[in-house]
A and B are shown apart, each in its own frame.
Chain A
């Protein structure tokens, strides 16, 4: 998944310069010309990092930052302040605002990239284009935690994947492994002694060959301060203890941009098929939704005119299932793809309990669904 960088600056020149500097990386640069628009974009897009101008008309950087920090959804978003004013008082004031870093204009492009790279994992475009790993590819995960029960939960939770889990108890052992072996992702306990997880993050980021290894933190649900600190430091996310396997897998997938579309989508006999799994959960909704539009457009581009949604593995129909199907059917309709649903009689009946499903076409099998749409 691309890193989202939001640049809030009244100068179009600076916004264009920022966009240019990050072009070689797998980034999406979002622009806002003032603080009000910036807050709206931040709220909508949830950027990974914000580059915020200090001196702006309409709403200055100080006020924008205060509003970001007051928003529960955005308060952990790291901010790097850009300012043309490097006076001691300004610098002290900026530091007190809780920004991750600040950069004085004029600045060199490589300095900006380096500062942003300390906070988020920048990957070169060509590295991304080369290969996006799939969910079922082998992946090396390093767990750093001194509690055997937690390590056990991670290993058990990922046992049905092709991922290899290695564990160590201490920060220095983790550094050694990251430097000496291929580690795709580090999962570190945030309660490690001596601030071990944060130390490890900073160590990895300060060395070129380990700088791009993403880190997820682990903590109990109530340790909100620990979690916020980890995210402010630059961790890609936090997994709660006790470990929920589905949540862990989803966060690993998101962090490593693992390709998972094949789990849900396939082209079959000229139709696009969407198969919803038995263990339907919010991760499924998120993953299917993220691929949906692209898959539908590809299907329509290739001359397809049918969408078949397979509900046969689903055990019960819930509102999220109906909502997901509705959005798929509506999106398909916009591309002139006709849609049918395969499901058991019991599931069909459950679907029909919802008012929005009355016009849906149901069939028992894929072949019957195709025939229905001819």
Chain B
């Protein structure tokens, strides 16, 4: 366990909580990470990377059911009015951007300048991300009532060993 990963772990917890509370008026609480229950409607992953003195990527995983709720809350519209396509994809992309933007800003302020990559969103069934051998991984679980969200941080090894 290194200091760098601890810092990003803590920042990710704060960021997810802050973004959900501010943009969705929704409370999420950390929980031990576990694989998401398969959602019959599929899964969605939003991701944004950061490159510089700290290099890595943060993935946010959710089932499509929870993703639709998130999109509806963000846009202030009933869940029934959320189309399953572009609206959800864009909302999850923006949510990821805000979460990782929060982390990135604080990394920069602590002397680790880096820039963000553009957000990307992947949709499919039972998705998982594999990292290469040179990355350190950390998963953080979040819960809102019966809904679960998983954040996974992948940090480039060279960054972590430098500290």
CB-contact partner of A106 in B90, B98, B106, B109, under 8 A: B98
CB-contact partner of A17 in B76, B86, B102, under 8 A: B76
A20 touching B76 in the complex, CB below 8 Å, given contacts A14-B94, A84-B97: yes
CB-contact partner of A13 in B18, B74, B116, B118, under 8 A: B74
| Interface flags, B100-119, vs A, CB<8A=1, else 0 | 11101111110001001010
Kindly state whether residue B37 has any CB partner on chain A within 8 Å.
Answer: no
Kindly state whether residue A88 has any CB partner on chain B within 8 Å.
Answer: yes
Which residues of B are found within 8 Å of A106, using beta-carbon distances? 18-19, 22-23, 98, 102
Which residues of A are found within 8 Å of B91, using beta-carbon distances? 13
Within the complex, the shortest CB–CB distance from A198 to chain B, in Å, comes to 32
A88 touching B116 in the complex, CB below 8 Å, given contacts A17-B76, A105-B98, A106-B98: no
B22 touches A90 (CB 8 A): no
Which residues of A are found within 8 Å of B118, using beta-carbon distances? 55, 57
- Complex Cα spacing A118 to B77, Å: 28
A108 touches B22 (CB 8 A): yes
Which residues of B are found within 8 Å of A104, using beta-carbon distances? 105
A87 touches B108 (CB 8 A): yes
Kindly state whether residue A262 has any CB partner on chain B within 8 Å.
Answer: no
A87 touching B109 in the complex, CB below 8 Å, given contacts A16-B75, A17-B75, A55-B116: yes
Kindly state whether residue A221 has any CB partner on chain B within 8 Å.
Answer: no
Kindly state whether residue A160 has any CB partner on chain B within 8 Å.
Answer: no
Looking at chain B, what size class is its interface with the partner chain? Answer: 20 to 34
Kindly state whether residue B93 has any CB partner on chain A within 8 Å.
Answer: yes
CB-contact partner of B90 in A13, A90, A105, under 8 A: A13
B75 touches A20 (CB 8 A): yes
- A55: nearest chain-B partner, CB-CB: B116
Kindly state whether residue A83 has any CB partner on chain B within 8 Å.
Answer: yes
Which residues of A are found within 8 Å of B94, using beta-carbon distances? 11, 13-14
A84 touching B101 in the complex, CB below 8 Å, given contacts A11-B94, A107-B22: yes
Which residues of B are found within 8 Å of A105, using beta-carbon distances? 97-98, 101
Within the complex, the shortest CB–CB distance from A115 to chain B, in Å, comes to 15
- Complex Cα spacing A199 to B31, Å: 52
Which residues of A are found within 8 Å of B23, using beta-carbon distances? 106-107
- Complex Cα spacing A17 to B91, Å: 10
A88 touches B18 (CB 8 A): no
Which residues of A are found within 8 Å of B108, using beta-carbon distances? 85, 87-90
B93 touches A86 (CB 8 A): no
Looking at A84, A104, A107, the one whose CB has the most chain B CB atoms below 10 A away is A84
Which residues of B are found within 8 Å of A88, using beta-carbon distances? 108-109
- A105: nearest chain-B partner, CB-CB: B98
Kindly state whether residue A203 has any CB partner on chain B within 8 Å.
Answer: no
- A20: nearest chain-B partner, CB-CB: B76
Q: Which residues of A contact B (CB under 8 A)?
A: 11-14, 16-17, 20, 55, 57, 83-90, 104-108
Closest 3 CB pairs of A and B: A84-B101, A87-B108, A106-B22
